[in-house]
Structure formats: structure tokens, C-alpha cells
Structure 1
Amino acid sequence: MNPLIQPIDLRGLLCPNRVFMAPLTRQRAKDPDCIPGELQAVHYSQRASYGLLISEATQISPEGKGYPNTPGIFSAAQVAGWKVVTDRVHTAGGRIFLQLWHVGRISHTAHQPNGQSPVSCVAAASSAKMVIVRADGTLEEVPASMPRALETNEMPRVVRDYELAATNAKVAGFDGVEVHGANGYLINQFLSGSLNTRTDAWGGSVENRLRLLMSAVDAAGAAFGYAKVGVRLSPMGNAAELPAVPDDRELMLRAARELGDRKCAYLHLFNHYFGAHGWNGPFDRALAEGMKKNFNGPVVLNGYSRDVASAERDVREGLGDAVAFGKLAISNPDLPERIRDGSPLAEWDASQFYGVGGKGYNDYPTLATK
């Protein structure tokens, strides 16, 4: 029997299958308020049969924003909007975690409160290209802005932002949260041995570079309980100009162990396999296996599998316990059923990945409705 359609227990949350929906930024929560609502409620509830839905990346504060039309979880209106989403998902029988996101330096002053500089562990700009909205409503691609280094006395405030976001997610009805520590964003910037050259308690050594990640997880755990907190890490390759240094392996193995000691809901490992986010390092299976062993709990894979067959193999061989699908989740709202029945998979329309409205978002049919 296909292991992907077998149930899995995430520290007490029983999921009916191991086909998870990966967090997918779709840019449909309109600026400036960044409030989700009916559009997102339809989208996620269409996919309620997935073992777990992991929401699109959601900024924990105005400072955490880096892209147009991405949702937040820091205002009362955003919480109310997300409650519409979670209610619809639960009515459809689904389970949904909210991904907590702070982009750090991967931003532009146009996305920051009062046009201020983005923040990071150090004042070093990314060469990432950002999209901003011109006054006439058209989009423009521009370099990321120079960030400023967060002051030591600001770090507790950032941690509190994570706790407030997790608390808001609980009020909004989410089943849990995922702390985004991957893909070159703020926590990943602090984890990076090549970027984080701070000399205070938040940088330099492995222990210090882990401090923001573990503090954010502890903050989310205080709000939800660790059993409702997943963590996403990207242990291999180079993302957003964060080249590897010799102790990165030690850092990732230690992170997995410390997260496992806290009995977090799951460890979500993102691999660069498809070249996403500018990653170009080799696949290190031994590191992935070592992190799984150290975590000693459910491991979710994303980007490790070329297709459903290789995803099935990765779970069968024990590399991971579940697989989060991205592009296939866009075009197949009933992916678990298609995998179960061996049915054909629908192709996605990449031109509609980002934008407004339901086209390319809520109009992919299920087999039952075709």
C-alpha cells in the first residue's frame, strides 16, 4: 500500500494521510491591510483532504514584510480574516497550521513601515530582486534595500513578535504554527555562519546563531504548546547568498536535536532540488538522515522528490515521514485522492502563481467535479 496515504500522528494531531500542502506564497491578500478572507477560505478548504495544510508564509509584524499582497497575523482584522479560513477548513474536515514569517533583509523600504530600512543580523544587503508597486499600480523589480543590524536590545521585541503572532494564530483557530527558519529569511540569516558575524549573544558561535530560532520556537511553544509547533529549515545549499561554513552541519544537527528535545510537532526540511530560492549546493542525504535521527519525531520533506513516485520512495525508505507538495498542490486540490486512486495529475499554470482573484487559484477542478 502507498505509504503516502497512510495516517500519521503529529504529537497528538492525527492526520489521515502523509500528503501535506507546502507553504505557498500566492500574493492574494491585498495591501495595505494584508487581510485574508473569502478567497483564501475557498482555496484552503478545497484542499481539506490533505493530511495537513501549511499556510502561505504570513508576516508576524509590519517589519516582517517583503512582498506585495502577503498576509499578516499581527492585526485584529487579519486574525478575523484568518478565522474565516480556519472555520471553513475545519468544517470541511481539514487541519491547518499557520507559517510564521519574518523576511529580514529580503525586503525593500517600500514594504517597510514609514519607509524604514529592513532589519537583519548585520548591515549587509542581499542581491535578491524585490517587487514593489509603483504609484500608478504597476509592478517594478528593484534590488533589495540595505538593512540595518538589529540592536541587541531589540531582540526580545522580535521574539515577542513571534509569541504574539502565535497567540493570534491560536485565536484565529489554527491547529498549530510553523516557524519559518529557512530560505534565506530572518531566522536563516541569524543561523548563517557566513552572514551572522555579530559579537553579542545572537551571533558568532553555533549556540549564539541558534538563539533566535530557539527563542522563536520557545515563544510559539508558550502560546500553543510545543506539540503544536512545527519548524521549517533548509539545511543544504546556498540560499539568498548564505554560503556554507564548516560548522553549518553541526548547527543543523544541533538544531534538530534541540527541537526534538522540545518534542515539536514536526521538523520540515526544505531541499534545494529544483533550484528554488537560488540554492545550488549538493544534496547531502547523510545530513538529512542525521537530522531525522536527532529530531526523533515526524519529519516532513519538501523539495526532495521529483514526483509522486519519488515522494513515495522517500517515505517508504524512511528519509521522511510525510511530504509537503507545492506546485502539485496548486493544480490538484484533491491530490491525496488522486494518489490513492492512481489518477492523472493536473498541470499547473505558472503564469497564475502570483496575482489577485481566483483565477489560477480557486478554479482547478477535482476529479469529482470535472
Structure 2
Amino acid sequence: MDTIFWPLEAGSLVLKNRIVMAPLTRCRAGESHMPNALMAEYYAQRASAGLIVAEATMAIAGNSAFWKEPGIYSEAQVDAWRQVTDAVHARGGKIVLQIWHGGRACHPLLNGGITPVAPSALAIVGEEVHTPEGKQPYTLPRALETDEVPDIVAGFAQAADNAIAAGFDGVEVHGANGYLIDQFLRDGSNVRDDIYGGSREARAKFLFDVLDAVCERIGSDKVGLRLSPLNGFNDMRDSDPVGLTAWLTARLGRFNLAYLHMMRADFKGEQQGDVLAAVRENYPGVVIANMGYTPEEAKAAVGAGQLDAVAFGVPFIANPDLVERIELGAPLAEANPKTFYSDGPEGYTDYPTLETAHA
């Protein structure tokens, strides 16, 4: 049997296979940011994954970047998430919650007119955000004051605590894709001159503070981290992404995380480099990789020991039984991008499995 179907221990998480469902923003939580029964059905359908990483979820109120994404900052949200975690666990699955702060990717139209915050007062250019008034350009954020940062760190720790209370098996700290932690890490978005800006050590301080706080709150064996040093999404750049990756991953070992989830490429195809080689050379723990893997490439990478697991994103949208299809060598259904962020079950819970398609 291919090693991708072997179990994997990742901290306290025991995965039944090495096929991971990547976090996928689907905007089904409504304007109240409340998890619901439809979301429970969607995630439960995909419980054959070795691990589900639930979508980017607001750690702190007032920081919406996707209009209808869920939150984990209120008691009501904690209660509502339990229907999701219970449904996944009932199907024998494991699920962690990706906790997130959008930073400059937030928008006043999504947050009661509040100006977004960021490491530096640099706006996202060349991209637009979904709002109740249609797609809009991003606005200029204000730079966080130094003494404001610890409150955000505390918000991440509380979100992790809330996730465990909601029944999640752990959390994934979102340090990727041009959101707040990533904005601090990369020199194209962080031009601060205080303890959180300048050198790599200073730019990484916010991430390390978040990891320290979250690991102390729920245990490092329940904490994963996602990084995307090459990804240009949300107008992101770093002058030396491979160097940043090598430096950063050499220092992540001290946290004893459950896993490191690396995005290996750039959505836009503009920034190039082998970040996975830098990770393997410097990081001692479990590594999950993501972005554009075919089932064959994933099997080969895991079989060769280059990776411990592979995360699939879009293929899990249209193939709730992706694990079974890969095991059988069956064809994969194609997802409809027009329903990625729409309302309701269409393009969400109505994709058939092989079994139902041939019934």
C-alpha cells in the first residue's frame, strides 16, 4: 500500500492517512459569522481525510476579511462549532481550526467602518475584496502601535482555547497568504522600526509571540502552523523568501509543534524558489505541503520521505470522497469556481461521491 495511506502521528493528532484537507474559505457562515448545520454536513462529508483543517476563522471580533467567514471569539460561536466537530468525529475524522487575523486584508465595509490594522501603513494594491457593496479596492490600514500588539497575541491564545472548547482536535495558526502574521514576517509589508520590524528576528517576533501564547494555552502538541513565503497573493513579497524560510524553520523546532504546513509556490507564479528543500534541511518536525499536487505527485513525495503528508484544497471541494478516489485511482470531479463563495448548498454539499454518482 502507498505510504500516503499509512497513519501519521503529528503531535497529539493521530491521522489515519496522510491526505489532508487544506483550509478553504467558503463563506457559508453568514453575516453573523456563525457556524451552522450546512457547514457541519460539508465537513462531515470529507471526514475520510487524515486531517481536516477548517477554514480561516476570525480569532478576534471586528476583523472580517471575507464577509461571511466564521468566527471563534464568542460563546455562541463556540457552541455552534460543536455541531461541526461532533459531526466530523462521528464519521471517524480529525479536525483542527485555522485561527486567523486578516490585518490589512480586512475592510471597513465588513467591520462597521473600522480602519484595518497592519504592521505598516501599506495598502494591498492590484486586488479587490468581496463586500456587501460588491468588489472593492483595499483601503489604507493604520500601523499598529507597539503596545497594541500584545492584545492581538492574547486574542489568538483565547481563540485557541475556544477552539478546544468547541471540540476541535487542535488549531492551525494562519501565518500565510498575506494576512496579519505573514504581513509581519515579510519585508515587503513590514517597514516598522520598533521591536516588531527591521531584522528577520524582529519581523518574526509577532509570530513567535503568538506561538508561545497559543502553545502555552492548549499545548504545542495540538498546534500547527501554516506558512507561504513565496505566495504573492494579497500583494505580498519578500526580498529573500528562501532565506527567510531557512532562517525561520530552523527556529521553529523549539516550539515542538504538531506540524508545519507549507505552501510550496506562488498563486501568481511570479516568485520562484525551493522552499520545501529549505524546510527539510532546517525543520525537525512533521511537514505537510500544499499547492497543486496531483495524487501521483503526492504519493511519490510522501513515499520518498520528502514530506510527511500532502494537503489538497480545490480537489476536496468537488470530491468529498477524495481519499477513496485516490486509493482507487478513480477520476476526480471538477469544482465550479462560481460557487466557491456563494450561499447555500449548491457547489458546497451537493457534489456526489463515487458511490452516489453510480447509484
TM-score tier after normalising by the smaller chain length: over 0.9
Determine the C-alpha separation between the residues in 2 that align with 1:162 and 1:226.
14
The residue number in structure 1 matching 2:77 is: 78
> Percent of aligned positions with the same letter in both sequences?
42
The residue number in structure 1 matching 2:144 is: 150
The residue number in structure 2 matching 1:184 is: 178
- Whether the 8 Å CA contact 1:105–1:146 is kept in 2: the answer is yes
Choose the corresponding residue for 2:255, options 262, 281, 284: 262
| Correspondence list, 1:1-370, <5 A | 1-31=1-31, 33-112=32-111, 114-127=112-125, 128-134=127-133, 140-246=134-240, 248-272=241-265, 275=267, 278=268, 280-282=270-272, 284-285=273-274, 287-305=275-293, 307-370=294-357
1:249 Cα deviation after fit: 3.5
Amino acid at match of 1:266: Y
Question: In structure 2, do the counterparts of structure 1 residues 111 and 166 end up closer, same or farther at CA, with 3 Å as the change threshold?
Answer: same
- What whole-Å deviation, never above 9, does each CA across 1:119-176 have from its counterpart, x for those lacking one? 0001111112011103xxxxx1111111000000101101011011001001001000
1:279 Cα deviation after fit: 5.2
- Whether the 8 Å CA contact 2:336–2:347 is kept in 1: the answer is yes
Q: Which sits farther off after the overlay, 354-363 or 290-299?
A: 290-299
Determine the C-alpha separation between the residues in 2 that align with 1:235 and 1:71.
25
Amino acid at match of 2:85: T
Determine the C-alpha separation between the residues in 2 that align with 1:290 and 1:125.
30
Question: In structure 2, do the counterparts of structure 1 residues 130 and 155 end up closer, same or farther at CA, with 3 Å as the change threshold?
Answer: same
For structure 2, the 5+ residue unaligned runs are none
Question: In structure 2, do the counterparts of structure 1 residues 174 and 182 end up closer, same or farther at CA, with 3 Å as the change threshold?
Answer: same
Determine the C-alpha separation between the residues in 1 that align with 2:149 and 2:36.
32
Determine the C-alpha separation between the residues in 1 that align with 2:96 and 2:231.
26
- Whether the 8 Å CA contact 1:272–1:280 is kept in 2: the answer is no
Question: In structure 2, do the counterparts of structure 1 residues 335 and 159 end up closer, same or farther at CA, with 3 Å as the change threshold?
Answer: same
SS at structure 2 position matched to 1:210? helix
1:271 Cα deviation after fit: 2.6
Determine the C-alpha separation between the residues in 2 that align with 1:123 and 1:2.
49
Determine the C-alpha separation between the residues in 2 that align with 1:237 and 1:344.
29
- Whether the 8 Å CA contact 2:211–2:255 is kept in 1: the answer is no
1:237 Cα deviation after fit: 4.4
- Whether the 8 Å CA contact 1:270–1:304 is kept in 2: the answer is no
SS at structure 1 position matched to 2:104? coil
Amino acid at match of 1:125: A
1:300 Cα deviation after fit: 0.6
- Whether the 8 Å CA contact 1:119–1:150 is kept in 2: the answer is yes
Q: Number of residue pairs matched? A: 356
Amino acid at match of 1:83: R
1:262 Cα deviation after fit: 1.4
Determine the C-alpha separation between the residues in 2 that align with 1:50 and 1:7.
11
- Whether the 8 Å CA contact 1:238–1:280 is kept in 2: the answer is yes
TM-score by length of 1: 0.93
- What whole-Å deviation, never above 9, does each CA across 1:26-51 have from its counterpart, x for those lacking one? 000000x2001101110111111100
1:194 Cα deviation after fit: 2.3
Amino acid at match of 1:221: C
- Whether the 8 Å CA contact 1:261–1:295 is kept in 2: the answer is no
- What whole-Å deviation, never above 9, does each CA across 1:50-88 have from its counterpart, x for those lacking one? 000000110111233111110000011111111110011
- Whether the 8 Å CA contact 1:210–1:251 is kept in 2: the answer is no
SS at structure 2 position matched to 1:61? coil
Determine the C-alpha separation between the residues in 2 that align with 1:30 and 1:63.
15
